[in-house]
Structure 1
Amino acid sequence: MSAAIRKTIDINSDLGESFGAWRMGDDAALLAVVSSANIACGFHAGDPDIMRRTVALAIEHGVAIGAHVSLPDLQGFGRREIPVTPAEAYAITLYQVGALHGFAQAAGTRLHHVKPHGALYNMAARDRRLADGIAQAIRDFDPTLCLFGLANSALVDAGREAGLPVAAEAFADRRYRSDGSLQPRREADAVITESDEAIAQAMAMVREGRVRAVDGDIVELQADTLCVHGDGAHAVAFARQLRASLEAADIGIHAPGQRA
């Protein structure tokens, strides 16, 4: 009888989101917990020096490096929807991936993945034409890069059709609608603030492939990576608690396509 296949999951976090004299989050502490880092590329946060330093920290901790590409919206932190064409989505994705690639290459490593940020992520999750523009940019740059996208979304479908490795993403601390989309941040209670509740949701998604939507419906999803946000007051403590809970359940933790 063959041995049972061990469940595995990636833990990713959005990092490198400081800018100039402004500091956000404890990247060094989070990089000791997560297995993938999505590094801001200057459009919603981050600057060249922050990008360079965050790449170096990720290498130090053995964490997979990804480009966190965004709409050009520093003032709104990339969370405001700005109408863009598929061609524009292609161009801004290619521009930002290329920028982070330069820092990775100079540091003797390479990019592992690309994850859109904020409004661009949610727009591409529901708009297949925008998703295709993003996926095409990644494919044209490097078809081995993994595309991180919301589970069951147009972004994941576009990545698969483009022939890219894809990681379906789920969120431990965000509430879901019955169609599998995230409840918008502008709505009350969109973010789960109680750690135990968020851990329970994450464990159900990883072990059972399902999440309970805000209206009580059960949404089926297959998660390859879990996002933990790095900008909250208790982000590091929560990430540590999540990792400990996963490991206690004998769930392996590593970046998509890599061995634990």
Structure 2
Amino acid sequence: MAQIDLNSDLGESFGPWPMGDDAAMLAIVTSANIACGFHAGDPAGILRTLREAAVRGVAVGAHIGYRDLAGFGRRNMAVGYDDLFAETIFQIGALQGLAKAAGTRVSYVKPHGALYNTIAHDAAQASAVIAGVLAVDPALPLMALAGAPVVARARDAGLQVICEAFADRGYLPDGRLVQRGTPGATIHDPALIAARMLRLAREGVIEAIDGQDIRLEAQSICVHGDNPAAVAIARQLREDLVAGGIALRAVTG
């Protein structure tokens, strides 16, 4: 039976400002990328989400990002190697401490937002993040954009890589994501999203924005938790994948 992981970005609320419905998403996904406080999240809120993930048996990943609360980590930043290396270690370590207190553990690392997209193709920043993960624990897998150069870089450095596709994002013919704010960047129709991801899970193929099919190696599918329709999208996606004979399992445990 074909199988795939379903993940979402959680733990992003800050003080009295809620972001997404973590409890509802944790009843649907198999892995949760938990904010580490740099792009979003506060310690108490992160700890609550980790405790809920532990109760649900959902795998936890460190969702590291640029130090950019105001921009939600979605602004490109020219961070030097030493700073990015140390910030990677810092964020993973912070989440590891909270995860231990919550009765769970950090099973993988996934960069967020602009950092995720930058290291997909930028060798310098990718090297700093990869080195930071290796310094903390060489056994921690890196979740990265399927088909991007960072996948080979991380594997060459000795890291296991979880290749990821995005349920609610449009793709360019070269496998990159359509830039946010441009037509076709985000898909909102739950039925269309589910159909695209079912085909990806079965055939390893997704339709690009120009209609052409592109091949992607993907072990995990992401549904963005900050989308107001995220829970409905994730729920239909899970139901359609299971109905289509796809087993949902975390890549890590």
Cα distance in 2 for residues equivalent to 1:254 and 1:169: 14
Cα deviation, 1:221-259, whole Å, max 9, x if unaligned, reads: 11100001111222111111101111111111111145x
Cα distance in 1 for residues equivalent to 2:213 and 2:182: 20
Would you say 1:16 and 2:11 are equivalent positions? yes
Cα distance in 2 for residues equivalent to 1:89 and 1:154: 19
The number of aligned residues is 253
* Structure 1 residue 133 displacement after superposition: 1.3
Would you say 1:121 and 2:116 are equivalent positions? yes
Q: Which moved more, 1:238-247 or 1:249-258?
A: 249-258
Q: Name the structure 2 match of 1:30.
A: 25
Is this contact kept in 2: 1:36–1:64, CA < 8 A? yes
Cα distance in 2 for residues equivalent to 1:105 and 1:92: 20
* Structure 1 residue 154 displacement after superposition: 2.2
SS at match of 2:6: strand
Q: Match of 1:8, as an amino acid?
A: Q
Is this contact kept in 2: 1:19–1:46, CA < 8 A? yes
Cα deviation, 1:37-68, whole Å, max 9, x if unaligned, reads: 00001111101111111110100100001110
Q: Please report the TM-score for the alignment, with normalisation by the length of structure 2.
A: 0.96
* Structure 1 residue 216 displacement after superposition: 2.5
Q: Name the structure 1 match of 2:240.
A: 245
Is this contact kept in 1: 2:190–2:232, CA < 8 A? no
SS at match of 1:183: coil
Would you say 1:86 and 2:95 are equivalent positions? no
Cα deviation, 1:127-154, whole Å, max 9, x if unaligned, reads: 1221121111111101111110000112
SS at match of 1:112: strand
Q: Name the structure 2 match of 1:99.
A: 94
SS at match of 1:59: helix
Q: Name the structure 1 match of 2:209.
A: 214
* Structure 1 residue 212 displacement after superposition: 1.5
Q: Please report the TM-score for the alignment, with normalisation by the length of structure 1.
A: 0.94
Cα distance in 1 for residues equivalent to 2:83 and 2:140: 20
Among candidates 139, 158, 169, match of residue 163 of structure 1: 158
Give unpaired runs (5+ residues) of structure 1. Answer: 1-5
Would you say 1:60 and 2:55 are equivalent positions? yes
Instruction: Give me the identity figure in percent.
Output: 50
Q: Name the structure 1 match of 2:107.
A: 112
Give unpaired runs (5+ residues) of structure 2. Answer: none
Would you say 1:132 and 2:88 are equivalent positions? no
Q: Name the structure 2 match of 1:3.
A: none
Would you say 1:178 and 2:173 are equivalent positions? yes
RMSD: 1.2
Q: Match of 1:141, as an amino acid?
A: V
Cα deviation, 1:103-144, whole Å, max 9, x if unaligned, reads: 112233321011000000000011122112111111110111
Q: Match of 1:56, as an amino acid?
A: R
Would you say 1:154 and 2:172 are equivalent positions? no
SS at match of 2:144: strand
